[in-house]
A and B are shown apart, each in its own frame.
Chain A
Amino acid sequence: MLIAVAVVVVAGSGYVVYSRNKSTKTNSSTGTTTQTQSGTNSGSPTLATPTGQSNTASGVASAINTLTTSLNTSESSVYTQYNANDQTSDASLGASATNLGDNYNANNF
């Protein structure tokens, strides 16, 4: 199938090749093909979600980053919270022991 293309020279940056219906364009310098806006200029452009290696890489990186962040929510912080008061957990016992000792007062005799 014959596909007509339009070539537009862009000074200093190679040239841009538009596809027949201008739905995509390819920059000769970067080799990057991007989607262009179609139809009239009314409304917002409706570009499809770009796909390709770079987006996969960022997606993988993002997922790994989120995963790693959640994994780094170490359980140790929970342990620190739950045993923080264990050292002084015998305070009531200490008070009771003191009261019992105070029961023995030489001045009572």
Chain B
Amino acid sequence: MPAAANAIATRGTGVPAAISAIAQSQFCTSLQTKASNQNSKLSTLQTTLSTAESKHTSTLQGNWSTAGTKLSGLQAQWQTDRNNEYAKLTSLAKTDAEKAAVTTFETTVNTAITTRETANGAARTTYQNGVLAAASTEATSINTAESTLESTVNGAISTAEASCQSGSSTAASIETTLKSAITAGKQVYQTTTQSARSTYKSAVTTLQNTEKATISQNDTTFENTMQSAITTLKTAFGTA
């Protein structure tokens, strides 16, 4: 029986029943409007969220690109510096043996540099791909949580509307049930999104540590090669 009809039917029992019926009617009447207001903001918020997800990825890639350009410039400068020192060594070489030693040294160092740069570049690529994957996972988790929240709330509103139509429950009961569903759904959403962000941050930390360890290992390998090359060079010059 509709709420209004129910109110009329129970009028003879006293004022409280009438008041209850009016309140239920007001709640049910405003329910659709409030739901509509909520969904009108939702579209804008969803667009903002989607934009933020895209911007997150583009910002990461932009920062890496800038750093990559800077690194390329530094690597070129470092090579120029090395060439200057090679020239000094060459000018100091008087004998054929010394000259050959300088040439070997130069080749060894340049090869070691290339090896290190390549290895570090691979580590950097692995890191970047890992971060992008983590960002994608984060975005997916948040989007899923948002969809779940949206369907949960819409489902609760539909249930409330149905209850209003059937008059099976009091307004207070319908309102309480609806608000509880929204609160619970929102809690799940917040927990999920916070977890997604925490997971992303943790993944980046792990990836950074892995990258750092790999680069450190590459440095060690490089330094060992360098020490050997330096010793060989000094021996050739009789200065070891």
A residues touching B (Cβ–Cβ < 8 Å)? 53, 56-57, 59-64, 66-68, 70-71, 73-76, 78-83, 85-90, 92-101, 103-109
A-contacting residues of B (Cβ < 8 Å)? 31, 34-35, 37-38, 41-42, 45-46, 48-49, 51-53, 55-56, 59-60, 63-64, 66-68, 70-71, 74-75, 78, 81-82, 85-86, 88-89, 92, 94, 109, 113, 116-117, 120, 124, 127, 131, 135, 138-139, 142, 146, 149, 153, 160, 175, 178-180, 182-183, 185-186, 189-190, 193, 197, 200-201, 204-205, 208, 211-212, 215-216, 219, 222, 226, 230, 233-234, 237-239
- Taking a contact as CB atoms closer than 8 A, the residue among A56, A85, A87, A104 that contacts B153 in the complex is A104
B101: min CB distance to chain A, Å: 10
Q: Which of A71, A87, A88: most chain B Cβ within 10 A?
A: A71
Distance, CA A65 to CA B103, complexed state (A): 17
Shortest distance between the CB of A71 and any CB in chain B (Å): 6
CB <8 Å contact, A68 and B230: yes
Interface of A is mostly: helix
B146 contacts which of A63, A83, A88, A100 (Cβ < 8 Å)? A100
A-B contacts, 5 of them at CB < 8 A, read A70-B78, A76-B215, A83-B64, A86-B204, A106-B180
The residue that A101 contacts in the complex, of B193, B205, B216, with Cβ under 8 A, is: B193
A-chain residues with CB within 8 Å of residue B183 when the two chains form the complex: 106
